[in-house]
Amino acid sequence: METTNIIKALNTWFINSKGRFPTTFETFFFHTSNNIDFNINLYDILKKSKKTYIYITKRFTPNMQKTISNEIKIKFVDDGFRPYFNEDEEPRQIYRVFVSYNGKKTSFTFGDSLANGYDGKTPESNPEEYRQTILDCLVSDSYTPENFNEFCSEYGYDEDSRKAFKTYQRIVKQAEKINKVFSSEDLEALYNEVNN
């Protein structure tokens, strides 16, 4: 029972602290005992459970200390309101997105959905939703078909279309930016995290 409660407390810690790991039991206990999700009985258990805490953090949570999605920093900057995609018939909100990870940085433009514009959603009002969207984009946009013909075949574009070729060039450039920051192992780990 004691072990179960400590694991429960650690899991809640990670949710509330966005992946930062408690450096000491005292730090863990102080923050946990000030969390309204825990009752007085659990406080007493935690206070008496330093050895159990140390054991669990070493044995049961080695992979919880650091996840790639928690290490990625994302910043949105307003980049205007205009048509973005080739097929756009009306303007949409555009952002410049700045991404940093492991000492490397990149940036790219991001055209928000028209639905978000109608609903008044922004990165400020829905930070987790927008962050998740960019994490998904990092994974999906890191891949490009090997050549333009394959791109047209895979996505249904006309090989004689100049617009299609410009789209292909933009996608290739986007993938190059992402792959300069993230290794294939990083992207695989990120894919597993965002899809679980």
pLDDT 10s digits, 59-94 = 444 444 457 888 899 999 999 999 998 788 999 999
What is the average pLDDT across 165-191? 90
Per-residue confidence band for 148, with pLDDT thresholds at 50, 70 and 90: very high
Rg (C-alpha) for the chain, rounded Å, is 22
CB 53 within 8 A of CB 30: no
| pLDDT surpassing 90 at residue 42 | no
| pLDDT surpassing 70 at residue 17 | no
* Contacts of range 41-47, beta carbons closer than 8 Å, 24 or more positions apart: 42/5, 42/9, 45/2, 45/5, 45/6, 46/5, 46/6, 46/9
Q: What is the pLDDT of residues 27-39, one digit of tens each?
A: 555 555 454 344 4
Per-residue confidence band for 26, with pLDDT thresholds at 50, 70 and 90: very low
65-69, 168-172, 183-187: range with lowest mean pLDDT: 65-69
CB 164 within 8 A of CB 157: yes
Distance, in Å, from the CA atom of 108 to the CA atom of 180, rounded to the nearest integer, reads 13
Quote the pLDDT of residue 9: 61
Where do the H-state alpha helices sit in the chain? Answer: 2-17, 25-33, 40-47, 50-59, 68-71, 114-119, 127-140, 148-155, 162-181, 184-194
DSSP-derived letter for residue 130 is: H
What is the average pLDDT across 171-191? 91
Percent of the chain with pLDDT over 90: 41
Quote the pLDDT of residue 175: 93
| pLDDT surpassing 50 at residue 155 | yes
- What is residue 170's three-state secondary structure? helix
| pLDDT surpassing 70 at residue 125 | yes
Six-digit token string for 159: 């090989």
Model-level pTM? 0.63
Name the residue with tokens 């953090």. 57
